Amino acid sequence: MRIASHTIEVSTDAGIAVYDITPEIRGFVQQDRIGDGLAVITSRHTTTALAVNEFEERLVEDIRRFFSGLVPAERPWLHNDIHLRDCPPDEPRNAHSHLVAMLLSHSEVIPVVAGELQLGTWESVLFLELDGPRSRGVNLQLLGQP
C-alpha cells in the first residue's frame, strides 16, 4: 500500500469564505499514482471546516448568509470576553467562528477508484474559512494501491 501526505495551503479572505480544493486533491492523486484507495482530508484549525457540496457562486453566498444569520458574530458570546481569558490582548473575538465549525466537519474521506476521486457530478471538496483572513493548511493523506 502506498501512503502519501501533503499540505494544501490556502490564503483566505475575510469573514466566511468558501474555497474549492478539489483540483489540488486531484493533482496529488495523479502525482502519487493512487489508483484505488482513499483520500483523507483534514482541516487543521478550529475556525475552519470541510464539506462536500456544489461550488456555485450563488450557493456560496447562501452559505455565507446562512451561517452569518444562524450564528451572528455580534451576539455577546462568552468566548469573546478576551479580558476574562488567559490569551493575548489582540486575540480575535471569534466565538461565532468556533460555533459554526462545530456544526460542520473538520474532515472528509473520499474514495479513489481507478485514479479518480469518487465525487458526484456537482460535488466538490470545499474548505470553509470562518474567521479570515488567514493562512491556512489542510492535511491530505492518500492511501491506496497504484
d(CA 131, CA 48): 7
Mean pLDDT, residues 13-26 taken together: 97
> What digits encode the pLDDT tens for the residues 76-97?
999 999 988 988 878 899 999 9
**Phi and psi torsions of 83, nearest 5°:** -65, -15
Among positive and negative, which fits the CA dihedral 27, 105, 100, 58? positive
Q: What is the CATH number that goes with domain 2-74+92-145?
A: 2.60.120.460
Peptide bond preceding 92: is omega within 30 degrees of 0, i.e. cis? no
d(CA 126, CA 55): 7
Q: What pLDDT score does 62 carry? A: 98
The model's pTM is 0.95
